Structure 1
Amino acid sequence: MTYCVAVLVDKGISYCSDSRTSAGVDQINTYSKMFRFGQDGNRQFVILSAGNLATTQAVIEQLSKDISTQAIINLNTVADMSEAADYIGQLSVKEQTKSGGGNIYEATFILGGQIFGKPPHLSLIYPQGNHISTSKETPFLQIGESKYGKPILDRIITPQTPLNTAALCSLISMDSTMRSNLSVGPPIDIQLYHTDSFIGGEYYHLPEDSEYLRDVNRIWNERMIESVASMPPLDSALAVTGDKGSDPVL
């Protein structure tokens, strides 16, 4: 299983991905699910992947090959982020079909970045090749095991959120997912992109023995426990309603 999240705010884009592809009793396999492409000063892309590993690797390899061979359509020639998403979607469908098709070969991607003269953009590319984008109401995209890490993003993230805060929320979102699903795990990759910089931003690689990762997990747990303990007691609701309710009918 996989979990990847990307957040688009006014100041840039934060990307966060785990690296676990399987977690059995005897073996844990890890592969990076974050891939960076770009031309400094002109365009920058980050791709996050989830789904069939063979399909995602084949798509990334073809993207690199198209750039090196100067194919007519490649990430260095697309006019905008929508065209880039269409291009990746077509490659994904082609690789799935080549393998025989079906759910087992499906892959999903998040494409983020900026092309000179255009605003930063995030797209989620479905296995069928089509894609959607973020909105002001939902300025983040998730793929893989997304349900456990969504609540903090819904509560905190807005377009005005500082970029570093967005990255930290993504990491806490990842920590919540790892806590609830053992098939998601470190190393964790975090990449930042600053709006209109057109260069790669800060990159962080957090291995399983990362002291910082342990601190985030510990402090987040402590703060949640403290928050629950500071809530008004349930008995105080009776002072407002004046009604204890009736016993349920069995």
Structure 2
Amino acid sequence: MTYCVGIKLEAGLVFLSDSRTNAGIDQISTFRKMMIYEVPGERFMVLLSAGNLSISQSVREILQVEKVDRGPHEEPLTIWNAPSMFDATRVLGSAIRRVYEQDGPSLKAAGVDFNMSAIFGGQVKGEAMRLFQVYSAGNFIEATQETCYFQVGESKYGKPVLDRMITPKSRLNTAAKCALVSMDSTLKSNLSVGLPLDLLVYREGSFASQEHVCIDEHNPYYQMIHSTWGQRLREVFLSIDDPLGDTEPTHPLLVDSERYAPLRKITNASEKVV
């Protein structure tokens, strides 16, 4: 399994991915899940992938040379000449379908699902930044003001902090910190996600990024996040009133509901449940 998150803000984009791949408890490996496609000054794109490793690697390889026909009088569409991120994502979808055509029947015969999902985002000169989530059928959806981040892989543990903290107007530093907290929460609860991590921050209109780093267990900022987040969660938890106790609580728990009757107790065999 894996965990990847991409965040689209007014100020830029944030991408974070882990690197653990496992096929059983004794088949743990490290494979990077992030790919950067960059033509300085013209286009900048990032791909995060999750799912079956062999499928993901094939898609990444084909994506670099994949061509989508645009008609008899136009040059085929590639990620290198796509006039928009939407068109570049169409090329990614085509690459996924090509791998399915090549390997799908054999995988099915072997009892293996065609399982691959991706986050693909960036900026092409002449248009605003865009962020997409791409599915194993090659179809995709785009991030909006209301939903400005995507997750693929083991997403449930890291989602609450993103939902509470991230808005399109968030600062890039805030989003990067939030993404790392989200990842640390996932690492804490799921062994199928693991270090090292790849973090990339893209600033709107730059068409390049120098702010990317591979984070291992010795990284001082990650060590601080790991220890501080757990400690502060415990402090906040302990500061909340206990629901039951000998003293009268400030916020009582055992109060009657205005709408619902108390739960019935069955005291003998002849009573009806309903």
Same fold? TM cut 0.5: yes
The alpha carbon displacement at 1:246 in A equals 5.5
The alpha carbon displacement at 1:45 in A equals 0.1
What's the counterpart of residue 213 of structure 1? 222
What's the counterpart of residue 197 of structure 1? 206
What's the counterpart of residue 70 of structure 2? none
Unmatched 5+ residue regions in structure 2? 68-74, 244-248, 267-274
Higher helix proportion: 1
Q: Residues 21 and 192 of structure 2 are in contact (CA less than 8 Å); yes or no, is this contact kept in structure 1?
A: yes
**Rounded Cα–Cα distance in structure 2 between residues aligned with 1:66 and 1:135:** 27
Number of paired residues? 246
Please say which of residues 24-33 and 193-202 is displaced more in the overlay.
Answer: 24-33
What's the counterpart of residue 3 of structure 1? 3
Q: Residues 20 and 193 of structure 2 are in contact (CA less than 8 Å); yes or no, is this contact kept in structure 1?
A: yes
Secondary structure of 1:149's partner? helix
- Report the CA distance shift for 1:169/1:187 in structure 2 as closer, same or farther (over 3 A): same
The alpha carbon displacement at 1:27 in A equals 4.6
Unmatched 5+ residue regions in structure 1? none
The CA deviation string for residues 215-247 of structure 1, in whole angstroms up to 9 with x for no partner, is 2111000010111122244322239x8659967
User: In structure 2, what residue type is equivalent to 1:74?
Assistant: T
What's the counterpart of residue 140 of structure 2? 131
TM-score by length of 2: 0.83
The alpha carbon displacement at 1:52 in A equals 1.4
The CA deviation string for residues 96-132 of structure 1, in whole angstroms up to 9 with x for no partner, is 2211245623211110100111111100011111100
- Report the CA distance shift for 1:231/1:129 in structure 2 as closer, same or farther (over 3 A): same
Q: Residues 194 and 201 of structure 1 are in contact (CA less than 8 Å); yes or no, is this contact kept in structure 2?
A: no
Which of 227, 234, 252 pairs up with 1:238? 252
User: In structure 1, what residue type is equivalent to 2:62?
Assistant: Q
Q: Residues 198 and 215 of structure 2 are in contact (CA less than 8 Å); yes or no, is this contact kept in structure 1?
A: yes
Secondary structure of 1:74's partner? coil
Pairwise CA RMSD: 2.2
Q: Residues 49 and 56 of structure 1 are in contact (CA less than 8 Å); yes or no, is this contact kept in structure 2?
A: yes
Higher RCO (C-alpha under 8 Å, 6+ residues apart)? 1
Q: Residues 66 and 95 of structure 2 are in contact (CA less than 8 Å); yes or no, is this contact kept in structure 1?
A: no
1:169 aligns with 2:185: no
Which of 115, 124, 128 pairs up with 1:119? 128
Which of 179, 182, 185 pairs up with 2:191? 182
**Rounded Cα–Cα distance in structure 2 between residues aligned with 1:106 and 1:242:** 48
TM-score by length of 1: 0.91
Which of 77, 99, 108 pairs up with 1:95? 99
Q: Structure 1 vs Structure 2: percent identity of aligned residues?
A: 38
- Report the CA distance shift for 1:246/1:111 in structure 2 as closer, same or farther (over 3 A): same
**Rounded Cα–Cα distance in structure 2 between residues aligned with 1:115 and 1:248:** 62
